[in-house]
């Protein structure tokens, strides 16, 4: 396993982490719990030390799963979780709005500690920027939790440049988690330069385009009725057909490098900056092993340039989120 440091912080993690959301939330029927615990154990065995969850995944049940599975390995791993949503008070599966008020942050953090069975959260993200709460108040609340030893590092997710700067001035931001992949390169314009300037690490989620960049999904693929990808415009059948060109590009390089499209997509991401740590999610051991195999692939400067030039000629069809979800991004 290779390791990376997130920005200028002391947080060092495996160069590829594991997104845990899909283990019981959002991608159709939840897999068997015992199988997911076994998968998490295998991830640790393979050298993964960075695991990503959130209270809203479930809600709550994903944190409980991660906490139970990783309890025997607490000293070997780093766990990231998130706050920021107002959840259905009736215990329903839906969030009802955003809530990053300081008192709510504290309440969520303390509940997450119990579900995760840990004494300190290694990395606590604001899941989405709350326009009703000044980001300085959010950063201040997390700063207090850090002083108390309940949190070690502060992160933001899908935040815009000015929000990042304002938060960082109050409490240094260790990492930004936002979508980034060969078919969503928007962070390159403004986000990456600011992260580099401020010494903040970058944790790309959906580095495999919600599975599309693996080459295992095409226009004829049918998602389970409970799979959230049914709501993603970019993944409509007609857009999957139109967007196949980006998968074809990855496949060309996969043949050249004796790899898979997924491995090329991850290797490309890893080559962008030494402080980027993608967190592909999976529920299958063979996919976990495949993803980690990306660490053995070296793309030369010429190959990276070739991929970039080819990608720039491709126009991706469809937005990456539904209209409602899109409103919560880059505030």
- The neighbour count for residue 241, using CB atoms within 10 Å, is 13
Instruction: Please choose, from the candidates 199, 226, 203, 121, the residue with its C-alpha nearest in 3D space to the C-alpha of residue 156.
Output: 203
Tell me whether residue 57 is one of the annotated catalytic residues: yes
Place of tokens 């119990």: 114
Q: How confident is the model at residue 330, as a pLDDT?
A: 65
Of 57, 125, 205, 321, the active-site residue reads: 57
Cα distance between residue 45 and residue 325, in whole Å:
36
Please name every residue paired with 124 in a beta bridge, in sequence order, or none if there are none.
81, 154
- The neighbour count for residue 256, using CB atoms within 10 Å, is 10
Structure confidence by residue, pLDDT tens digits, 173-219: 999 999 999 999 999 999 999 999 999 999 999 999 999 999 999 99
pLDDT in tens, the chain (331 residues): 999 999 999 999 999 999 999 999 999 999 999 999 999 999 999 999 999 999 999 999 999 999 999 999 999 999 999 999 999 877 667 788 999 999 999 999 999 999 999 999 999 999 999 999 999 999 999 999 999 999 999 999 999 999 999 999 999 999 999 999 999 999 999 999 999 999 999 999 999 999 999 999 999 999 999 999 999 999 999 999 999 999 999 999 999 999 999 999 999 999 999 999 999 999 999 999 999 999 999 999 999 999 999 999 999 999 998 888 888 886 7
- The three-state (H, E, C) secondary structure of 139-194, written as one string: HHHHHHHHHCCCECCEEEECCCHHHHHHHHHHCCEEEEEEECECCECHHHCCHHHH
Are the beta carbons of 16 and 295 closer than 8 angstroms? yes
Instruction: Please choose, from the candidates 77, 74, 92, 70, the residue with its C-alpha nearest in 3D space to the C-alpha of residue 23.
Output: 70
Structure confidence by residue, pLDDT tens digits, 23-56: 999 999 999 999 999 999 999 999 999 999 999 9
Are the beta carbons of 36 and 69 closer than 8 angstroms? yes
Q: How confident is the model at residue 89, as a pLDDT?
A: 74
Surface-to-core class of residue 278, CB atoms within 10 Å of its CB (0-12 exposed, 13-18 middle, 19+ buried): buried
Q: How confident is the model at residue 329, as a pLDDT?
A: 82
Angle at which helices 161-170 and 135-147 cross, to 10°: 40
CA 207 to chain centre: 8
Which CATH code for domain 3-326?
3.20.20.100
Alpha-helical regions (H) of the chain: 33-45, 61-70, 102-116, 135-147, 161-170, 191-198, 237-242, 244-256, 261-272, 285-292, 301-312, 323-326
Q: Helix, strand, or coil here: 300?
A: coil
Surface-to-core class of residue 311, CB atoms within 10 Å of its CB (0-12 exposed, 13-18 middle, 19+ buried): middle
Q: Helix, strand, or coil here: 202?
A: strand
Task: Provide the token pair at 256.
Answer: 């050249």
Cα distance between residue 114 and residue 210, in whole Å:
30
> What is residue 226's DSSP assignment?
T
Cα distance between residue 45 and residue 193, in whole Å:
35
Across the chain, what does the average pLDDT equal?
A: 96
pTM over 0.95: yes
């Amino acid at each position: 396993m290779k390791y990376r440091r997130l920005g200028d912080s002391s947080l060092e993690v495996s160069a590829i982490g594991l997104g845990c959301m899909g283990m019981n939330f959002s991608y159709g029927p939840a897999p068997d719990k015992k199988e997911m615990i076994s998968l998490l154990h295998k991830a640790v065995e393979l050298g993964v030390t960075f695991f990503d969850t959130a209270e809203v995944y479930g809600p709550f049940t994903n944190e409980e799963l991660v906490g139970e599975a990783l309890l025997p390995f607490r000293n070997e791993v780093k766990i990231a979780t998130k706050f920021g949503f107002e959840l259905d008070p009736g215990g329903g599966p839906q969030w009802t709005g955003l809530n990053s008020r300081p008192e709510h942050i504290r309440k969520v953090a303390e509940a997450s500690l119990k579900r995760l069975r840990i004494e300190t959260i290694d990395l606590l993200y604001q899941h989405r920027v709350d326009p009703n709460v000044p980001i300085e108040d959010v950063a201040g609340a997390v700063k207090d939790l850090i002083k108390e030893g309940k949190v070690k590092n502060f992160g933001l997710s899908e935040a815009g440049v000015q929000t990042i700067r304002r938060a960082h001035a109050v409490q240094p931001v260790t990492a930004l988690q936002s979508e980034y992949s060969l078919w969503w390169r928007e962070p390159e314009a403004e986000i990456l330069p600011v992260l580099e300037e401020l010494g903040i690490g970058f944790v790309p989620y959906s580095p495999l385009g919600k599975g599309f960049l693996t080459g295992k999904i095409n226009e004829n693929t049918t998602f389970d009725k409970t799979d959230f990808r049914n709501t993603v415009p970019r993944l409509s059948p007609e857009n999957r057909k139109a967007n196949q060109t980006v998968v074809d590009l990855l496949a060309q390089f996969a043949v050249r490098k004796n790899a898979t499209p997924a491995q090329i997509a991850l290797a490309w991401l890893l080559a962008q900056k030494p402080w980027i740590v993608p967190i592909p999610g999976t529920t299958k051991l063979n996919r976990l092993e495949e993803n980690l195999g990306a660490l053995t692939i070296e793309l030369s400067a010429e190959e990276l340039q070739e991929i970039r030039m080819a990608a720039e000629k491709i126009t991706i069809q469809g937005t990456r989120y539904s209209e409602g979800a899109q409103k919560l991004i880059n505030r």
